[in-house]
Amino acid sequence: RPSLAFDLGGTKTLVALVDGDRIVEANERTTDRHLDPDDWCDAIAELAAPWQSRYGAIGGAVTGVVHAGRWSALNPGTLPVSANYPLADALERRLGRPVVLHNDAQAAAWGEYRFGAGAGRDLLFVTVSTGIGGGAVIGGRLLTGRGGVAGSVGLTQETAGVPLETLASGRFLADAAAALGHAVDAPAVFAAAARGEAWASAVLDRSADVAARLLQNLQLLFDPAIMVVGGGVGLADGYRARLEARLAHLPPHLKPEIRAAALGKSAGVIGAADLARRTL
């Protein structure tokens, strides 16, 4: 039987019936940042309701840190999750059976390793999305760490007190555009750059400068066979080209091999479904 999986991110909530690497059916809704975890759990249950009893295992990929069934934000700016929210219990009550939970970028890393760009090779996954997330599969194992934090690259700092994701993510693009007088979202910044508007290219360049340095640092730390880039910004037209341009000068043994997430926006739910199937 297919698995039920969901991907709750700072911008979108995706719920799907997943069979291996295939999305059988999917429902999506904007994550309403002004609501709270109870509401977000209600939204997941509502989106999953049409598939009652058609699924076995349930897997979840969520922005933030999950450990021992509890959910917390690292950066409330990405999604204001209350500390230690009992997510596993809240979802089990609504869905009627246990849920296997992971951070969204960790789940996506596993999905790309098993069914996507990884094809069984060790990899790092970096999502440039509402925030910046990361996941690592090393020696065929998904790193989750002491408390589920492993891979949280968006909170690393180049400058004291400034999380990297505030200088490169989708929210950065919108904030930087607003600071220049353009009240637009990230897709509109890409569209303006494509139309040749210099301010928009400059904003994308600032993001790519930071993201490229992150990938360079990650290559030094883990030296993965490939570096998979996902997320709404990471997969947007021209973004990876900007990263490649910034890394082209590196010698081969230090240069990341960048790949687009082959599973696209489904990497999280496909990874979460496979992780759940393996656990139950």
Residues that bind ligand ADP (CB under 6 A): 9-12, 129-130, 170-171, 185-187, 190, 231-233, 236
> Residue 112: which of ligand ADP, ligand BMX, none does it interact with, CB under 5 to 8 A by kind?
none
Of 130, 144, 219, 266, the residue at the interface with ligand BMX (CB under 6 A) is 130
Q: 29 by DSSP, 3-state: which?
A: strand
Asked whether 110 and 271 are in contact (CB, 8 A), the reply is: yes
Query: Of 112, 95, 102, 109, nearest to 21 (Cα)?
Result: 112
> Residue 219: which of ligand ADP, ligand BMX, none does it interact with, CB under 5 to 8 A by kind?
none
2 binds ligand BMX (CB under 6 A): no
Asked whether 105 and 133 are in contact (CB, 8 A), the reply is: yes
Of 116, 133, 224, 234, the residue at the interface with ligand BMX (CB under 6 A) is 133
Distance CA 216, CA 243 (A): 10
> Residue 154: which of ligand BMX, ligand ADP, none does it interact with, CB under 5 to 8 A by kind?
ligand BMX
Helices (H), 65-197: 87-95, 104-115, 170-179, 186-194
> Residue 165: which of ligand ADP, ligand BMX, none does it interact with, CB under 5 to 8 A by kind?
ligand BMX
Of 47, 101, 155, 243, the residue at the interface with ligand BMX (CB under 6 A) is 155
Which residue lies nearer to ligand ADP by CB, 56 or 187? Answer: 187
Query: Of 264, 175, 255, 179, nearest to 220 (Cα)?
Result: 255
Query: Of 126, 107, 81, nearest to 257 (Cα)?
Result: 126
Per the listing, tokens 């010698």 go with 251
Site for ligand BMX, rule CB under 6 A: 9-10, 63-65, 73-75, 78-79, 81, 103-105, 127, 129-133, 152, 154-155, 165
